[in-house]
Amino acid sequence: MFPQSLIPASARRGPTAAGVLGVTAALALGLLSGTASSAPLPSGDAVPLGKGYMGVGYVRDAEDFKPDTRQLALGSAPEASLLANPVGVDISAWQGSINWKSVRGAGIEFAWMKATEGTSYKDPTFSTNYLGAYNAGVIRGAYHFARPDVSGGAAQANFFASNGGAWSRDNLTLPGVLDIEGSCYGKTPAAMQSWILDFYTTYKARTGRDVVIYTSPSWWNSCTGGWSGMSARSPLWVAHWTSAGSPSIPGGFPFWTVWQYTSTGAVSGVSGNVDRDRFSANRSRLLALANNTP
C-alpha cells in the first residue's frame, strides 16, 4: 500500500539546448575524475555496465525534447503548497563520500541509493551510505538499475534482494526501487511489461513489499505503451526535471508518490550536484510507505 498524491500533473518542459551541449563534457569529467556527477548521457549513447544511475537516461527519453534557447531554472523551488512535503535525495557512487549527519541537518528526510545493476554489479559505496544514512536518522532505501538486455526480470530482482534490496519495518527502511530508463533494450511494449512484472513478482515474494518504480513519462509511454498494469501495484517515482509546480506523469498512473525534480541540486554533506526529490504527502505518509502500514 502507498500514499496517494493530491497533486495534479502539469505541462512538461524540456531542457535547454545549452544544457544538452554541456552534458557530454560534464559526463566525461565525471568518468575521468571519479567525482560526483548527475549529468545524463546525451541522446543515443549507451550506458556502460555499472555506470547507470537515476537520470542517466533522462535526456534520451525526453519525449518533448526540442533544442531551443529557452531558459529553464532547473532546481528552483516548487510551488509553496509543496514546501511542507518531505524532501530527499538519491545517490550512487558518483557522489563519492557523503556526510550523512550534515545531509540530515540540511533537512533531508529520505534517500534512496544505488545498490545493484543487472546481475553482477554492486555499487561500491552502498553499504557505507546505507549504514551512514540510518545512523543519521535519514529514512533510506535501495535502488536497482534495470538492465533488461542482460537477463530476465526475476534474475535481477533476486540479485537486488540479496544485495541491498531487503526490507525491514524499523521506521527507517523504504521499499526497494526499480530504476528503469534509457532505451527500450530492443523489447516490444508487451515484452517490457512482462519483464517488469517478473521483477515485481519476484521482489515481492522475496521481501513482502511492492517495488517502487522510477521512470520518466516518455520512457514509460514509449517502452511499455503507457501500461496501466503497475498502477495498482507500485508507487510511482517520476523523473521530471522542471521548475513547474508539479510533474508530468506517465500514462497508466493516476498520481505520483515521489518526484525527482532536478539533477543539479545542492545539499550540505554532498559534494557537487545531487538529485533532489520530493514526497507527495506529509511525513506520516512517508513513514507509512516505509513501514507498510495504512
Burial of 117 (0-12, 13-18, 19+ CB in 10 A): buried
CA–CA separation, 52 and 62 (whole Å): 17
Pair 11, 240: CB distance under 8 Å: no
Pull the grid cell for residue 68: 531551443
Question: Three-state SS for 23?
Answer: helix
Secondary element (H or E) of residue 218: helix 217-223
Q: Whole-angstrom Cα distance, residue 157 to residue 152?
A: 9
Contact (CB, 8 A) for 129 and 96: no
Mode of pairing for the β-strands spanning 177-179 and 139-145: parallel
275 is catalytic: no
Q: Is 181 one of the catalytic residues? A: yes
From residue 14, alpha-carbon distances to 109, 181, 182, 280 in Å are 28, 17, 16, 22
109 is an active site residue? no
Q: Are 278 and 88 in contact (CB under 8 A)?
A: yes
* CA–CA separation, 56 and 58 (whole Å): 6
Catalytic residue among 61, 117, 181, 275: 181
Q: Which residue has the cell 550523512?
A: 100
Which one is catalytic: 61, 109, 117, 179?
Answer: 179
Q: Which of 90, 123, 210, 277 is catalytic?
A: 90
Contact 85, 107 (CB under 8 A): no
E strand or H helix that includes residue 134:
helix 126-136
Q: Which residues fall within 8 angstroms of residue 32, CB to CB, at 6 or more apart?
A: none
* Enzyme catalytic residues: 90, 179, 181
